Structure 1
Amino acid sequence: MPARFLSPDPATWTGRQAPANDYWFQKIQCVEWSEYLEDGPLGISLIGYAVDEGVRRNQGRVGAAAGPLAIRTQLAKLANHLPEDLNLYDLGDISCPDGDLEKSQQALADCTAEVLRQRDFPVLLGGGHDIAYAHYKGAQKAFPGKRIGYINFDAHFDLRPDTEGPNSGTPFFQLAREARERDEHFPYLVFGIQLAAATPSLLATVEELDVDFKVAREMVFSRLDSHRRFLDSFLSDLDAVCLTIDLDGFSSAYAPGVSAPNPMGFSPEGVFPLFEYLAASGKLISLDIAELNPAYDQDTVTAKLAARCVAAVVNGLG
């Protein structure tokens, strides 16, 4: 069992009485790492990142460590539209009992790499957005030599320098710096940026690192075809891509329960078709959901939204 790992809890997966496999709670298999084996052509493997140390370091509202449980609770209630021969695993949580964020990130990276080596599709449930660094490191470890891009739906670039250590605002700066040290470009695309939160110095970093992005006001259904072409261009010279969805990119009308609420964010209508389009591209290898903070949720709508994000992606995998 990897260090810092908490076993999956079958009691999380409950729901109403129904015919077999009508709901996710009936399809899920809670599996210990020692028993984790791949049976079918493709499996979906859930790993929680019950960590908000990065949010605390970034002076955000702590509470995202409870995010994985809240998302699982809502996933359990979803109608099951997954293929019958598709395995669905819950592999438990990474925790951070001692405040050592870096060790928790390494543990998640190792677990993500193992899932990818098993040819499963990892779904990582956060947790602070420092999950994104661990997510990508796991993909790099599993597929050395492949050109892997990162797509982020988010109000923020999360390109802050890590001069005082990594936190939830630094993951893509860390990854871009490491790419530069290898004389490589870090392929990074962001949908949903709030320019009100992007300082001139940060935008200079964005330009220097050649980051592609769309601002929040562009994330509307009427521009869907344009965004698809934008995605196609980004994906064209990549071998694979990771997807991260920071829930604070959504308007707080849809996602009040996040670490940094955002009244001017995008709507589900503006982005869910892009989740599905990316899932069907054949290049998406993994997903993470970040920044759910159940302590500030209202009627569990943010947790429900997170679950629907997961379902939109995994139901659409090509």
Structure 2
Amino acid sequence: MSLSDFLSPISSSSVQNDFYTSHLGAKIEMFHSDFPDLDANTFDIAIIGVQEDRNSMGNSGTALSPEYFREKFYHLNEGNYITRIVDLGNIKAGYTVSDTYIALKLVVTELIKKNILPVIIGGGQDLTYSQFMAYEELEQKVDLMVIDSHFDLDDDSEVVDGTTSQSYLNRILLHEPNYLFNFSNIGYQTYFVNQESLKVMDGLYFDIHRLGDFSNSITLAEPIIRNANMISFDIGAIRSSDARGNANATPNGFYGEEACQICRYAGMNDKLTSIGFYEFNPAYDQNGQTALLLAQMVWYFVDGFYNRKKEHPLLPKSNYITYRASLKDGSHELVFVKSKKSDRWWMQVPYPTGLSKNERHHLVPCRYEDYQLANSGEMPDLWWRTYQKLI
């Protein structure tokens, strides 16, 4: 199987060649005629457009987003590093939506195997399901994080072909065998979420965080993002004043600069192996502002990627400081680890006896405030929820 079987080259008309030498368009290898050699260890990141929007509910037109994104992205300047990025062109819509899902799944799987991080430009957010299924092929447990104002848990039982942008998460949660270890959401807005869904998330010990939780500081999102293997970003999570290019855009959401900061945190996450940006619809984009914001978000992701600290796994131990804290009732001793290089924190959560033969602890990113809480004798909620998922 060759990846070129699933990908169509970028048309020369969609990417103008009026680049300065400092522009990304002059630095990135693009699939125009000959398919790039992905086995030469020359690429770190691969951009993939997915021209599929049949199940993007109420937002038809997102299939056009990859070309509008490229127009803006390639006119941005390269950062203070050498980018090793390849643009593999587009996955065209298959005969059925399921055909598109299979193509994206196989492409993401092969890229991860080659240690190349796919950046997916969709298309509807239902493609998150296909992105997730790539990890089943890899037989790898997944920490999934979604930036979205909704939970997308609608019932899709009447959908003939595939799933929808408003129900894909339901399909991920019900998938067997279960490769989902943790789900995190940042930016949900309570009036868009029914109380039953909140109870489901709480019962599964998932990490869900309201938009208002980040109103004082977007830095609170960093440990949550650092825990993800894959990320799905719904452009609809950004307020309409900053990102009009979405038929379902709403007045509230993240600011554009907050979205860029989220993407930089994502890029810096050593665990992250794929990211998808979905639901950008050029038909609603005024003056190309959403396309430019999306381009800047991906730029910040790339900037974060090339500033990774290589702190996963946490070795060598000499680069870290271990802290211990005991609960008031003496039932547990909690162990925290702090990086000397980045000042970032992790918390050790022990595996229940006999559940893991190879590892004694599960490391979960946390904040300094979690250590302070434990040091005062209280159990951090993050520790308890993580332990429950390990049982």
Determine if the TM-score, normalized by the shorter chain, exceeds 0.5: yes
Contact 1:14 1:76 in 2 (8 A): no
Q: 1:281 to 1:5 in 2, by over 3 A?
A: closer
Pick the aligned partner of 1:253 from 214, 219, 241: 241
The structure 1 segments of at least 4 consecutive aligned residues displaced by more than 6 Å after TM superposition are none
Does residue 1:217 correspond to 2:205, yes or no? no
Instruction: Give me the whole-angstrom Cα distance separating, in 2, the residues matched to 1:72 and 1:160.
Output: 32
- Correspondence list, 1:56-205, <5 A: 58=57, 60-81=58-79, 83-84=81-82, 86-96=83-93, 98=95, 100-141=96-137, 143-144=138-139, 146-165=140-159, 166-178=163-175, 181-182=176-177, 185-205=180-200
2:9 match: 7
2:317 match: none
Instruction: Give me the whole-angstrom Cα distance separating, in 2, the residues matched to 1:130 and 1:282.
Output: 25
The higher relative CO (CA closer than 8 Å, separation ≥ 6) is in 1
Does residue 1:272 correspond to 2:282, yes or no? no
2:23 match: 23
**TM-score, length of structure 1 as denominator length:** 0.86
Residues 257-310 of structure 1: CA deviation (Å, up to 9, x unaligned): 113111111112334333222322311111111000000110111111111111
Q: Give 1:118 deviation, angstroms.
A: 1.6
1:52 match: 53
Instruction: Give me the whole-angstrom Cα distance separating, in 1, the residues matched to 2:180 and 2:273.
Output: 20
Query: Is the deviation greater in 122-131 or in 259-268?
Result: 259-268
**TM-score, length of structure 2 as denominator length:** 0.71
Find the structure with the greater CA-based Rg: 2
Contact 2:62 2:281 in 1 (8 A): yes
Instruction: Give me the whole-angstrom Cα distance separating, in 1, the residues matched to 2:186 and 2:180.
Output: 19
Instruction: Give me the whole-angstrom Cα distance separating, in 2, the residues matched to 1:230 and 1:71.
Output: 27
Please tell me the residue identity of whatever aligns with 1:62. S
Residues 150-190 of structure 1: CA deviation (Å, up to 9, x unaligned): 11111111222321231111222211111xx3366541111
Instruction: Give me the whole-angstrom Cα distance separating, in 1, the residues matched to 2:183 and 2:251.
Output: 25
- Correspondence list, 1:278-293, <5 A: 278-293=266-281
Instruction: Give me the whole-angstrom Cα distance separating, in 1, the residues matched to 2:179 and 2:67.
Output: 37
Query: Is the deviation greater in 282-291 or in 31-40?
Result: 31-40
Q: Give 1:16 deviation, angstroms.
A: 3.7
Report how many residues are paired. Answer: 300
Instruction: Give me the whole-angstrom Cα distance separating, in 1, the residues matched to 2:244 and 2:100.
Output: 27
Instruction: Give me the whole-angstrom Cα distance separating, in 1, the residues matched to 2:74 and 2:106.
Output: 26
Instruction: Give me the whole-angstrom Cα distance separating, in 2, the residues matched to 1:13 and 1:268.
Output: 25
Instruction: Give me the whole-angstrom Cα distance separating, in 1, the residues matched to 2:287 and 2:60.
Output: 19
2:349 match: none
Q: Give 1:229 deviation, angstroms.
A: 4.2
Contact 2:48 2:119 in 1 (8 A): yes
Instruction: Give me the whole-angstrom Cα distance separating, in 2, the residues matched to 1:76 and 1:105.
Output: 27
2:387 match: none
Instruction: Give me the whole-angstrom Cα distance separating, in 2, the residues matched to 1:107 and 1:69.
Output: 19
CA RMSD of aligned residues (A): 2.3
Contact 1:219 1:271 in 2 (8 A): no
Q: Give 1:33 deviation, angstroms.
A: 8.1
Residues 180-206 of structure 1: CA deviation (Å, up to 9, x unaligned): x33665411111101111123333333
Contact 2:143 2:180 in 1 (8 A): no
Contact 1:176 1:186 in 2 (8 A): no
Please tell me the residue identity of whatever aligns with 1:26. A
Instruction: Give me the whole-angstrom Cα distance separating, in 1, the residues matched to 2:49 and 2:298.
Output: 13
SS of residue matched to 1:139 = helix
Residues 191-223 of structure 1: CA deviation (Å, up to 9, x unaligned): 110111112333333334433111122233x33
Instruction: Give me the whole-angstrom Cα distance separating, in 2, the residues matched to 1:82 and 1:38.
Output: 26
Contact 1:15 1:76 in 2 (8 A): no
Q: 1:82 to 1:136 in 2, by over 3 A?
A: farther
Q: Give 1:17 deviation, angstroms.
A: 4.8
- For structure 2, the 5+ residue unaligned runs are 309-391
Instruction: Give me the whole-angstrom Cα distance separating, in 2, the residues matched to 1:37 and 1:97.
Output: 24
Contact 2:141 2:179 in 1 (8 A): no
- For structure 1, the 5+ residue unaligned runs are none
